[in-house]
Structure formats: C-alpha cells, structure tokens
Structure 1
Amino acid sequence: MNARNVTVMTFNLRRQSAEDEGNAWSFRKGYAAEVVKRYRPTVAGTQEGLYDMLEYLDRELPEYGRVGEGRNGGTENEYNAIFYRKEELAVREWGQFWLSEYPSEPREMSWGATHHRICTWAHFQTRNEPQKQFLHYNTHLDHSSQLARAKGSVLLWERLSDHKNRLELPALITGDLNAEPDNPVIAFLRGQTEVNGAHCALKDAYSVLAGNPGLSFHGFKGGEEGGPIDYIFVTPDVHVDGVAIIRDKFDGKLPSDHYPVLAKIRL
C-alpha cells in the first residue's frame, strides 16, 4: 500500500439470531468473510459481532489482526471489533470506553439506552512508513433513544478530539449510528449544529457524492431507496477520495442486514 492511502470499511455483521432463520449467521458467515476478501480494506470497523462470529472471521481472514472486547466486558455480548491488515499496519495502542455516564466500565446504561454501547479505538502505525500514524474509532449508537445517540456522539467527539490533539494525528470514525442524514446527531458530527455547547469538526465521507448514497440498513430485503445509518467520518486533515455502499450479493444472498460501506482516504 502507498503509506498515505487507506481503505476503510464499516460493516454491521448482524449478530447470530435464530429469528433470522435462513439469514442466520451460520448461513451467511462465508459471505461476510468474502466481502472483506473481495475489497481488502486496510481497516474495517465491525458492529454486532459476537465472540464465536469473530473467531470464525479470524480463521477465514488470517491476514487480518483484530482489537476489541465485548460491550459487557471481556468476551461478553457484542463487540465493535476493528480488523486491520497485519502486513500494512501495526497497533501502537488500543482501548475501549462506554457511551454512558460511566465511560470506563459497563456499570449501567445511560440516557434511556436499551443496551450498553461502546466505542473501540486503535492507534495504528503504517509498517512501511512508521511516521505515518492515525487513530480509528469504531462505534454503534443506540437504536431506540435519541438522547443516548446525542449524548453518545458528544462523548465520542470529546474523546476523539482530545486524543487527536494530544498525539497530533489524523483520525477516522466508523460506525452504525442508527441515524439517517437528517438526524440532529449527524448534523452535529458534520459540524452543522451544536449539542449542549459542544461543536464537532468532522467530515462525512458521503459528502464527496453528488447525490443521496441510499440506504445502508435493509433488513435482508435489499434495495437502495432511503438514507444510510452506517457512516465513515474523518477529521479535516484527511482527504476522502471516494465512498460507496457495497450492495453485492453472494449466491443470491446478502451477507448481513446492513450493507458494508467502503471509503478510500488519504492521510
């Protein structure tokens, strides 16, 4: 890879659930792995992966390393795991915090959230040009509480901006934000509005597109009509060369109930 070029994916894997019947993870896990093999992202922020699911992807994608823990701590419950190409990147440091009033541990859910919500982050260094480094934050905002989405996005920005300023590094965010483009949370992350006096300074990768990118959550039904809830954001010092929602099918099947999103950026 050219050390200045990074391909970024965000991919909600859809957790294993018997209620999905023929779309359960056991029937589509090979397709999820194939998406990553086909597009070869440098980094991929995933959501909803359970321990066994991620172990499967580790076996199928040996060229990738992975960081992250479950949202209930350790290996429990869903991860916001970050996968990275080991031949291209080294992990300098990584960590995790909870999007709640108690960011350091999974104590109790805040702001009306229905689940513990987390952000997993990694500080990466390119192997062929070690001075080129960046931060990657990967998250999953609450699906039911707008207050939790708003408060969580402010906490996310505060942590990322402090981290970026201390290390003087470019940064990116991937995630299922459970918010379409007209949601105030997206306006906040785009720097278009303030939340409780906080002002964000990020670029939405979709901004390079001429029109509406279309939906990213499809509930295994496919289609394009609607707006995305899966996003890639970057700090102003990162250039976005392109972005696309991947709507590939495999043997007529979709690999998840969300489409992956892929962006090409320059650090």
Structure 2
Amino acid sequence: MKIANSILLGGLASLAAAKPQHDFDVRLMTYNIRYAATSPTGQEKPWAVRRPLVAGQLAHELAGRPDTLLCFQEALHTQVLDIKADLGQGWEYVGVGRDDGATGGELSPIFYRPEEWKLKEKDTYWLSETPHVVGSVGWDAALPRIVTVAELEHKETGKPFVYMCTHFDHRGQVAREKSAELIVDIADEWASGNEGASVFLGGDLNADPENPAYQTLASRLHDVRDVVPQELHYGHDMTFTGFDSNVDNDSMIDHLFVRNPAGLEWESFAVLNTLYEDGIFISDHRPVVVDVRGPGKKGQRQNRRRAIRGSHAYGV
C-alpha cells in the first residue's frame, strides 16, 4: 500500500509540475444584440420578444464560467439594465452612451463579475479626431462611435487583462480605417504601462476581412479566428444575418483580436447560432466566443502616459 501511495503521490506531483499552479482560464464574448427598435420590420422581433432569448443564450454560455468577460454592441441603456438584471446578482459593467458620455445613445459595455475580476481602470474613447470629446463624430462617419476599455486583474491568478469593446461606423469607410488606426494605438498605450497584460479587442467592425480597416487591425493585432487551430473551431463562419434566413446574404463583420498571443493556449473558438426552430432571430448578429488559457502573473502597473487624451487629431 505504501508503494502504491508513493506512486500515486508521485504521479500527482508530476501533474502539478506539468500544469502551472496559477493559470487563468477565461471565456471572451463579443455580441451585437441589436438595439431595441421601436418599429421592427421584416423578420426582426421587438426587444421584449428577443430579450428572454438573449438571456437564455447567455445563461447557457456562462454556466460554469464565472470569469467570462462580455462585450456588447448596440445596447441602449435600458437594454444594458435588462441584461444586468437577467445575468443576476454579481455582475457589473463599464461603459457609457456614445451620445452624451452617460446614458444617451448606444453603449458598448463590458460586463464582468467583481468576485472574479478587480477593475483597475476604465475609459471611453470616441472614434474621431478628438477621442476624448464626448459625442464627437469622426471623419465621414454617420454617427458618434466609441471604444470602451476596461483594465482588470484576475483575482485568483493576478493576471492583468485589458478588454476593449467597439462598434465601427456603418457608412464611413474613412472613419472605419481611421478608427482602426486609433484603436491599435490605444491598445499599444494600455499595454505599454501594464507588463504581462493580455490585450483583447472585441467588436462589430462593419468590415469583413477584405476591408482595409480590418486589414489595418490584422496587421498590428491578431484575429483569434486565425490564431485558434481550425480543429478547435465550432459553429458558423459568418457573423451577420440582417434578420434574413438566406445564408447567401450573411457576412463576417464581428471579430475578436488579441494584441500578443504569445504564451496563450487556445481552447475553442465559436460563432454561435441565433436562429432556432421557433423562427425568431435572437439578434441580427451572431456572438463570437473564444476560450483562452495562460499563466497567471502579477502585473506591474506603471504610470501610463495618456498620449491619446485631449484633442489629438488622428488621421488629419
């Protein structure tokens, strides 16, 4: 028996040595939930009908994953409050309305659980020549556009993490390209003062991989779709349906990027379904999800130079 115990203990010790003691294991989601339209048309259903479907989908995807980080687009403030209520106790969010820096207009909120994550810092940038002028509209954009940034620390492992959530303009091509340039600079800025931090970007870019705006991001960041091995992919390729069941009209405009994939292990990548037998579209976009694991590390935060604050004129 002593010999058997020794073998067992030796095997457990080997497993412990093989697996780092303080790994983080995180699920990230980006999801355009479609704003609550007052007069839905076509196959779109009102938010009151879609809301419980969104809630059910999130409940399924979050089961057993309390350290998930959620990034949404097109969420009106009332919808943000609905999602917070439906997620249940223990969830908080960062993000402001793009129109007034408070509750006006659409938000790009990031949801997290304070029990799992310590919020270190947050900010919102307007995708314009003046990123910290509230409500500013950039270049040829039709509307104000923003990126929400949350700097977090994984409480169990001490891993520093930066998640960015954005929604590019649907009309202005120049605005999309300049927004991409601005965002990679913001990602560099937040990474530079946060040693060991993983920096992720999720969002609806209104740009497929052939678009120069996407290509700007992909030249300085890494699309997790390409980083995660193909055998770990699940679900759809296309992310936008437009509430149209004709798959020939679908497109790939929702993306997750990572600034530096070194040292990260990829467990899965998925584009989830949003249309089932009931015939009701949960949203006109499909959520994009990635599961990532890596070594925990206590971040050494430095004083970050806020080079992008104020009225710096990007792209002029």
Asked if TM exceeds 0.5, the reply is: yes
- The amino acid that maps onto 1:136 is Y
Counterpart among 35, 51, 59 of residue 29 in structure 1? 51
Counterpart among 20, 35, 38 of residue 18 in structure 1? 38
DSSP-derived class of the 1:257 partner? coil
- Equivalent residues in 2 for 1:12-161, closer than 5 Å: 12-21=32-41, 23-40=45-62, 42-62=68-88, 63-72=90-99, 73-129=101-157, 131-161=158-188
Higher CA-based Rg: 2
Instruction: Mark the CA change 1:221 to 1:70 in structure 2 (over 3 Å): closer, same or farther.
Output: same
Aligned residue for 1:206?
Answer: 225
- The amino acid that maps onto 1:230 is D
* 1:242 Cα offset (Å): 2.2
- The amino acid that maps onto 1:55 is L
CA distance in 2 between counterparts of 1:18 and 1:209 reads 42
Aligned residue for 1:228?
Answer: 252
Where structure 2 has 5 or more consecutive residues not aligned to the other structure, the ranges are 1-21, 295-316
DSSP-derived class of the 1:156 partner? helix
**Partner deviation per Cα, 1:26-73 (whole Å, 9 max, x = no partner):** 110111111211111600110010111111111111242111000011
Instruction: Mark the CA change 1:266 to 1:82 in structure 2 (over 3 Å): closer, same or farther.
Output: same
- The amino acid that maps onto 1:36 is L
Larger deviation, residues 249-258 vs 218-227 = 218-227
* 1:86 Cα offset (Å): 3.3
- The amino acid that maps onto 2:24 is R
Q: Pairwise CA RMSD of aligned residues?
A: 2.0
What is the TM-score with the length of structure 2 in the denominator? 0.76
CA distance in 1 between counterparts of 2:179 and 2:31 reads 19
* 1:243 Cα offset (Å): 1.1
Larger deviation, residues 252-261 vs 8-17 = 252-261
Identity %: 30
Aligned residue for 2:270?
Answer: 244
- The amino acid that maps onto 1:119 is V
**Partner deviation per Cα, 1:114-173 (whole Å, 9 max, x = no partner):** 0100000101111212x2111001000111011000000110110111110111211000
Where structure 1 has 5 or more consecutive residues not aligned to the other structure, the ranges are 192-199
C-alpha contact (below 8 Å) 1:243/1:262 kept by paired residues: yes
- 2:213 aligned with 1:185: yes
CA distance in 2 between counterparts of 1:179 and 1:209 reads 23
